[in-house]
Structure 1
């Protein structure tokens, strides 16, 4: 499903964000990626959907070898990898329905299929009644639910979540994790970068800890203590 072999990533300022990553994530796993700010978590996440390219090494996502994939084929990779961001990235002038539908329309799904899929994922995240609402009329938690619905509308095999609860209060963060767990139980592989040690310790899953560009721990059903207190 996801495989990193001898992966290094060095930026122009000589900062090494990935130092010999060797990681395998199997289909259906739920993995937290933890570590302090600047540790390399976001780089690890971004390399999975080719927002960043490794300096060296091999990354495989399903049938795609990211070091060899052509730029014109990147959209095909991203059909298999849904991404949820901390700041939602919803389109403000589109309704909830239109935001979710847009992800399907760009890959030319038939209108009837678009309608059926949007309705299905809005029901999954508990916001079917908000279909005609605009993003700025929603709470932060509701906007994140819509972002999740958009990310899974195309039935990706992998869902990547980069700090999805970072801007949310603890109760809303718990609600978001419950939705992500529900998606995982349907067979979707989850890779979630987070600072939220309370979530990691309450909802136990595999933990990959990164510090200073190195994987310092890879533990099945591990916990996490965030020394930075950046929750």
Structure 2
């Protein structure tokens, strides 16, 4: 599903953000990406949806070879992905329903199918009653649930979540995690970058730990810390 082979990324300022990554994420996995700020997590995540291009190495996501993909093909590749950001990125002048529908309208889905799909994902994230509301009328947790609903509206094979619980209180964050796990159980691969140690320890999944541009741990059912002495 996702494969990195000897992948490195060096920026113009000569900072090496990612150094010789080799890893595979199989279809249906739930994977945390953890590490301190500046470790290379964001670069790793951005390369996965071709926001950044590797300096060296090969990246394969589904059947796409991302280091070779033409710019004209990137929008079609991204249709197979759902991406959730920490700051939600909702359109303020559109209602909840319209925000989710917009993601399907841009890929020219049938209007009847759009309505059916939007109602389905609103039910999944428990926001059916908020369809006519605007983002400013929602709590942070509700806005994040809308962002998740929008990301999964097109039935992506992979959901990439960059700090989806970062600005949320613990109870709301746990609610978001339960939604992400439900999506994963239904077959979607989930890759989630996070600093939230409680979430990683409470909802156990594979952990990929990055530090100084290197993968220093890749552990099934891992915890946030490698052991009690570990710390950043």
Q: TM-score, normalised by structure 1?
A: 0.98
Query: RMSD value over aligned CA atoms?
Result: 0.8
The alpha carbon displacement at 1:218 in A equals: 0.1
Residue matched to 2:78: 78
Residue matched to 1:115: 115
1:8 matched to 2:3? The reply is no
Distance 1:148 1:73 in 2: 24
Q: Secondary structure at the match of 2:32?
A: strand
**5+ unaligned residues in a row in structure 2: which ranges?**
none
* Superposition pairs of residues 127-206 of structure 1, within 5 angstroms: 127-206=127-206
Q: Deviations over 1:197-224 (max 9, x none)?
A: 1000000000000000000000000001
Residue matched to 1:213: 213
Q: Deviations over 1:67-97 (max 9, x none)?
A: 1111010011111110000000000000000
Residue matched to 1:65: 65
List, as ranges, runs of 4+ consecutive aligned residues in structure 1 with deviation greater than 2 Å: 225-228
Q: How many residues align?
A: 228
Distance 1:181 1:175 in 2: 10
Residue matched to 2:37: 37
Distance 2:44 2:67 in 1: 14
Q: TM-score, normalised by structure 2?
A: 0.97
* Superposition pairs of residues 91-102 of structure 1, within 5 angstroms: 91-102=91-102
